């Protein structure tokens, strides 16, 4: 596998780790109504687990209110039950047409718990990025040991430096995203 492909694959894997962290951050509620908090909740829709977003329109008409309007009115009870049994800690109310989710304000203690949880998730993403770098370094060193004519020590050294730069860039990006999320959670 040529050096360029190794580095390209590494960048894609690092990006996936970062994207997964961002997706987890989106689900963590920060005291404001955000339709993304319902992304991981699925409902049994005629035998298959279907995300709520694929069964209903979700809107946030107010800062602390989410409205879920199912396209199939017969699914309103199933959606309501799925939200109740999720770990969101929100009680839905339904009027037969739509489901309303009043987002309660977060307590200071809960905010601190969410910040810690975000920190743990960011650290997991950094570890994943560093693991990708380690894999790249191992592959590059293996290429160097093979002593292929078209790959010099300088090429390997440059590729190792580039892998380190990719890692540093993603770690910085993760830290910036974490700071932004922490600020979002801690702002009242």
Kindly report, residue by residue over 3-13, the tens digit of the pLDDT.
889 899 999 99
Instruction: Please report the pLDDT score of residue 149 as a whole number.
Output: 58
For each of the domains in the chain, give its residue range(s) and CATH number, in order of start: 3-26+107-186 (1.10.132.20), 32-102 (3.30.1360.40)
Tell whether the model's pLDDT for residue 41 goes beyond 90. Answer: no
Percent of the chain clearing pLDDT 70 (strictly above):
95
Query: Is-contact 129 123, C-beta < 8 A?
Result: no
**What is the phi-psi region of residue 57: left when phi exceeds 0, alpha when psi lies from -120 to 50, beta otherwise?**
beta
**What is the phi-psi region of residue 31: left when phi exceeds 0, alpha when psi lies from -120 to 50, beta otherwise?**
left
Percent of the chain clearing pLDDT 90 (strictly above):
32
Mean pLDDT of 19-43: 80
Query: Is-contact 151 3, C-beta < 8 A?
Result: yes
Between 130 and 108, the more confident residue is 130
Give the whole-angstrom CA distance, residue 106 versus residue 34: 14
Longest dimension (CA), the chain: 73
Instruction: Please report the pLDDT score of residue 25 as a whole number.
Output: 84
Which residue has tokens 């990025």? 129
What's this model's pTM, rounded to 2 decimal places?
Answer: 0.71
Give, in order, the Cα–Cα distances in Å from 145 to each of 9, 38, 160, 180.
21, 50, 14, 43
93-120 confidence digits (pLDDT tens): 888 888 898 887 778 888 888 889 899 9
Mean pLDDT of 178-182: 91
């Amino acid at each position: 596998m040529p050096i360029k492909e190794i580095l390209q694959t590494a960048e894609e894997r690092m990006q996936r780790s970062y994207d997964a962290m961002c997706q987890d951050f989106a689900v963590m509620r920060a005291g404001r109504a955000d339709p993304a908090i319902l992304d991981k909740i699925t409902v049994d829709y005629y035998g298959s687990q279907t995300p709520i977003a694929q069964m209903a329109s979700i809107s946030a008409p107010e800062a602390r209110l989410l409205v879920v309007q199912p396209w199939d009115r017969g699914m309103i009870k199933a959606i309501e039950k799925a939200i109740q049994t999720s770990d969101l800690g929100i009680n839905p109310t339904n009027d037969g047409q739509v489901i309303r989710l009043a987002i309660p304000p977060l307590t200071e203690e809960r905010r601190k718990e969410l910040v810690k949880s975000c920190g743990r998730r960011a650290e997991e993403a950094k570890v994943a990025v560093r693991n990708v770098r380690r894999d790249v370094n191992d592959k590059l060193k293996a290429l160097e040991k093979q002593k292929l004519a078209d790959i010099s020590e300088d090429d390997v050294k440059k590729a190792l430096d580039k892998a380190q730069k990719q890692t540093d860039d993603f770690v910085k990006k993760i830290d910036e995203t974490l700071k932004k999320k922490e600020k979002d959670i801690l702002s009242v």
